[in-house]
Amino acid sequence: MSQARTFPRGGVRPPDRKSLSEDQPIRKACVPSFALLPMRQHAGEPARCLVSPGERVREGMLIGRAEGPGAANVHASVPGLIREVLEVVLPSGARTPAVRIELDGEFECTGRPQTARNWREFIRHELLERIEEKGVVGLGGGQPTAAKLRAAGRPQLLLVNGVESEPYLTADHRLLVEKAAEVLTGAQIVASLFELEPAQVLLCITEDRRQTLASAHGQAAALGFRVEPLAARYPQGEEQQLRLALAGGLDALVLNVGTLLAIYEAVVWGTPLIERVVTVSGSAVRRPSNLKARLGTRLRELVEDCGGLAGRPERIVVGGPLRGFAVADLEAPLTKEMAGVLLLGRGELRARGSGTAGEAACIGCGRCIEACPWGLRPLELYHWIREGEPRELRRLGLERCTECGCCAYVCPSRIPLVRWLAGGRWL
């Protein structure tokens, strides 16, 4: 196995905190008594709601049809009765219609024999249609997968992204431990779309996971895939940084392991994306876990599935601690792109960049510049955003910022740089 590679500049190495949950096998979460399903669980416009209060829906039934750029289909995660269609606010702050389904009736798929299809029997457009129909999106960023594949052109590499560089998150790690065969079959399906040879498929993991993912290595090697160890450095799991580390100028398609599992399930079993694996972790939860949970389950129910609270959380974060969103309570529903639910105690908080509390004047240390993977000057961008100067922001390259959070993480003055840089896009 080759020496660990990484992206060329910047980045940080926060404590990974993965030991809380990395050895916890994936287990089924309890089915919720009601599911709250937003019509926007993807990167683009909300899906068009197809149901009304009083209607009955089946498990896996299409209830939201993709319309507009970046949209994806939404399916009922439980059978039951539509109690209401309402507007909800997502953790990101976006507003979207949502459907509240009260659990009632029989499960038509779960626990019943299903017939597997040989994916090799499908031709290219049938594979893409099946992936699109079943509402598969990137489980890291929410981009509709069929649209991404159609726009990919002729990639020369497929990078199977098993790099969870954010602290705490271990859902993808457990998928590679427990579901490597299915994930790698998903990679074979995607490789067939572009007529890639096995050696053009790279399984990307961090070097500190070599031992625990030995089985996945063996299965990948048996298929002729390459295994690429990468440095345990944030934001190594970001698509652009993976390409910089591994592609060497070649056109590379990057897909997360959870997305590849969803592709496998959609194509082979005809299963829509109605559940996902999510990490529930942090010192304020009794039993940090990796749960396979129905979309639309309230975060409160996921925490209860993990033994409840061990103490009062100082902060609740949806996603990872560096790129995620802080929420005020646990009433939000689980959605497709939600990789983690973190309940952080006081000792786990690093307040830098997390808000204005404790913010001090810049001391000119330059750490934000050193940490930026794109070579930007975050404090100078911050200054011009406050001044409302879009021309200066374009000159300094604000559009290259991916809001990874490295600058805010290292800032000793606790300036909320990411919040300002994100807001600067609207100028």
Element (H, E) at 252: strand 252-256
Whose tokens are 């539509």? That residue is: 82
| Same domain assignment for residues 129 and 261 | yes
Does residue 195 carry a pLDDT above 60?
A: yes
What's the pLDDT score for residue 2?
A: 54
Q: What are phi and psi of 383, to 5 degrees?
A: -60, -45
Is residue 304 included in any domain, yes or no? no
What's the pLDDT score for residue 241?
A: 96
Q: What are phi and psi of 250, to 5 degrees?
A: -80, 155
Sort residue 217 into left (φ over 0), alpha (ψ -120 to 50) or beta.
Answer: alpha
CA nearest 183: which of 172, 194, 195, 193? 172
Does residue 205 carry a pLDDT above 70?
A: yes
- 3-class SS of residue 191: helix
Please state the rounded mean pLDDT for residues 84-103.
95
Which H, E and C letters describe 84-133, residue by residue?
A: EEEEEECCCCCEEEEEEEEECCCCCCCCCCCCCCCHHHCCHHHHHHHHHH
Contact 168, 279 (CB under 8 A): yes
Provide the residue count of the chain: 427
Q: Please name the residues in contact with 100: beta carbons below 8 A apart, sequence gap of 6 or more.
A: 34, 35, 36, 37, 82, 83, 84, 85, 86
The neighbour count for residue 329, using CB atoms within 10 Å, is: 9
Which of 250, 268, 286 is the C-terminal boundary of a domain? 268
Does residue 358 carry a pLDDT above 90?
A: no
Is residue 188 included in any domain, yes or no? yes
| Same domain assignment for residues 122 and 251 | yes
Q: How many domains is the chain partitioned into structurally?
A: 2
Which of 224, 252, 268 is the C-terminal boundary of a domain? 268
User: Above pLDDT 90, what percent of the chain?
Assistant: 86
Q: Report the CATH number that the domain containing residue 217 is assigned in CATH.
A: 3.40.50.11540
Q: What strands, in cross-sheet order, belong to the sheet with 62-65?
A: 48-49, 62-65, 74-75
| Same domain assignment for residues 122 and 238 | yes
Please state the rounded mean pLDDT for residues 348-354.
53
Please state the rounded mean pLDDT for residues 357-381.
91
What's the pLDDT score for residue 1?
A: 45
Give the domain range for residue 416.
367-424
Partnered with residue 62 across adjacent β-strands are 75
Is residue 190 included in any domain, yes or no? yes
Does residue 112 carry a pLDDT above 80?
A: no
C-alpha 160/C-alpha 150 separation (Å) is 18
Which segments of 287-414 are extended strands (E)?
Answer: 289-294, 315-318, 325-327, 340-344
pLDDT tens-digit readout, 122-148: 999 999 999 999 999 999 889 999 999
What's the pLDDT score for residue 355?
A: 42
Is residue 386 included in any domain, yes or no? yes
pLDDT tens-digit readout, 150-177: 999 999 999 999 999 999 999 999 999 9
Which of 246, 268, 290 is the C-terminal boundary of a domain? 268
Q: Please name the residues in contact with 360: beta carbons below 8 A apart, sequence gap of 6 or more.
A: 413, 414, 415
Is residue 342 included in any domain, yes or no? no
CA nearest 330: which of 354, 365, 305? 305
Q: Residue 113 — very low, low, confident or very high, per pLDDT cuts 50/70/90?
A: low
What's the pLDDT score for residue 57?
A: 97
CA nearest 337: which of 137, 86, 169? 137
What's the pLDDT score for residue 356?
A: 42
Is residue 233 included in any domain, yes or no? yes
Q: Please name the residues in contact with 285: beta carbons below 8 A apart, sequence gap of 6 or more.
A: 303, 306, 307, 308, 309, 310, 343
Does residue 422 carry a pLDDT above 80?
A: yes
Q: Report CA 323 to chain centroid distance, whole Å.
A: 10
Is residue 217 included in any domain, yes or no? yes
H helix intervals, 269-377? 299-305, 367-371
Any idea which of 15-24, 140-149, 279-288, 356-365 has the lowest mean pLDDT? 356-365
Is residue 124 included in any domain, yes or no? yes
pLDDT tens-digit readout, 271-312: 999 999 999 999 999 999 999 999 999 999 999 999 999 999
Please state the rounded mean pLDDT for residues 24-29.
97
Global pTM value: 0.94
Please state the rounded mean pLDDT for residues 38-59.
96
What's the pLDDT score for residue 353?
A: 39
Does residue 348 carry a pLDDT above 60?
A: yes
What's the pLDDT score for residue 162?
A: 95
pLDDT tens-digit readout, 58-91: 999 999 999 988 999 999 999 999 999 999 999 9
What's the pLDDT score for residue 350?
A: 55
